[in-house]
Structure 1
Amino acid sequence: MNNVDIFQAIFDNAIASIELGIEDYKLAKGDSSRYLSAVRNLFAGLLLLFKSKLAEVSKDDNFSLLIAPSVKTPYDIQQRPKTVGYYDLIKRLKEQEVNVDWEKIKDLHAYRNDIEHYFAPDSKSDSIVRGYIANSFLIIKQFLEKDLGYNPQECFAEDIWQEFLKDEAVHSAEIAEMVFEFDKLLWFSDDVEKLFLKHRCHNCNSDIIRVDDKLMQDAKDTSFICRNCGRQWIYYELAKEIANKLSQRDLWELKDGGTEIIGYCPECEEEMYCSIGEVCLNCGVRGPFECEFCGCEVPISELIIFSETGRCSWCEHQFEKIMEED
């Protein structure tokens, strides 16, 4: 087994253990043995993630950071040498300047020991177990992203990742990261960016749609992904979905005497011109548009006429009357 395989084996075991822990919690429903298994597996998975980091850092040095202090021989997976214990693991991670919420790790470790050896009655309630499990979610997400360079959505099964997103701290972190990523892109306007930020996935109604291709600087050239269900879009597809949703809103607002939000774009000929910010979501052309005859602003409902004639509907009607008289 080569160095890459050793790291991958530890990492894969970490992910499997975390998934088992979350599955145990979902199935527990008051079963104390399930709660014990959930916390045990989740914490074991977290420690394995930490060990995978040490394996990555010391892979060119016979995995020296991974070996327990009492072991003097080079790491050999076939001999299954004893790896670093909890306290030395934390110490070595700190020496590598790994920044984790160590107080929460300390609390999780203490709680794991408590339910492993004592399991006091007040330690096994759903709310308490959920609290400790939730505390680990943000740590796992951030460690995967910042320290190991992985996308956590791609590491876990879809239903497991969705459990992460149910946690308020993870959800808030995802929203903050989404806003940060969107702000780095070049948009047609601030109003267009806000419409994208407010949009919910049509497939699952999630409010977390992240930038998928982080190499792009222009919003219209990038791709997006729903962090809940994994649905992907290129810019045009997501902009069209937003326009369609706003068009549905039109039906209700028009009934109440409002004006249309989405209309025909004279520039790209798509039904994606938006009155919010007066900009086309597809091509970025800016309004308002003025009638070439009377100079008045052309209503969004008349833009298809304007695109063909350069006139508003009233001026077009007058022009047709003149032509008929001639």
Structure 2
Amino acid sequence: MARQRPTPMLDAAKLRENALTSIRLGVEDFECSRHQGGDPARALSAIRNLFAGVLLLFKYKIATCVEDPADAAALILNPPEVLPRSDDAGGIEWVPVGNFKTTTIDVGTIRKRFEAFEIDIDWDVIRTLQDCRNHLEHLHPAHTLGEVADFVAELFPVLRNFIQLELGESPAAILGNAWKIMLLHHNFFIDTRQQCEEAWSEACVPEGMESWLNECKCPGCGSTLLAPAQESLDAGDTVEYNDDRFQTTCIACGYTVLIAPLMIVALERAHSYDPRDGDEPSLEGCNQCGRRTFLIHEQSCLWCAAELEYSECEICEENLTQADQDSGGLCSNHAHAYEKFMRED
């Protein structure tokens, strides 16, 4: 077997410098995208640079967990393939084949390295960043500036905690003006979101649908900063009873649209199913209010709070559905048997 070449050395300082440069460029692109009327090319560049910068900063942290530059390189470079071979004694041994690759570890492996070294991070935000990058790369980048703006606000505390707690440095010192921009935007986002939440408290959103209101995004830009349209509030309309005309306005881009369909789409997305996998629906139209907000397993409607009058068959205790409610508390089989008995009597 050919002798393996030694593991390459790693310049951790260069890794750190590249990480901070990418983050600064990402924030600059974000600012430019906002001031250029929502330039989708700048938004795409922003999320690319931020994603690359954050991952490089994570890799830098991993590299600093060891003292030997060769060990640092081994931690962040993709290792050679490990294959079995005979040990000439009737058994096998597993040996690496080839050399360390020139490519570095992906998000999944970074997370494993962090777990191994007990480095804590909010992986939900990182997953959101990755999904946002993929969405911009492959789908409709012209309609996601608001989504990028939301993400920059959510990324702020993750970067702050990581730089302070894991790197032991000051975010303001190493990121400079980019950090000031992130701080201002984060504060604006938090204040605006609170104002939106307070405004919705006057709109009479059905209690069961409040959590789905929080899942809504602007169809125009992807932002979650949605407020009740002032015109709807001034007209005395409510979401619960005037969903056919109650509108929401996006604070980020000014787009105005009915709020009820957005909430129901968010609900349906969470309850999507594939019958090819043997899944069954968990959501259906409500017989009382007509909206597709009736949870089958909970036997109640999230919009109008309607519940089943009869939940179990009086004879066999089988669970009843909305379709069984006109049978007087009997399942379809026993209702059919009862009707047959009455006809013969």
Task: Report which of the two has the higher share of helix.
Answer: 1
TM-score, length-normalised on structure 1?
0.45
Higher RCO (CA-CA < 8 Å; seq separation 6+): 2
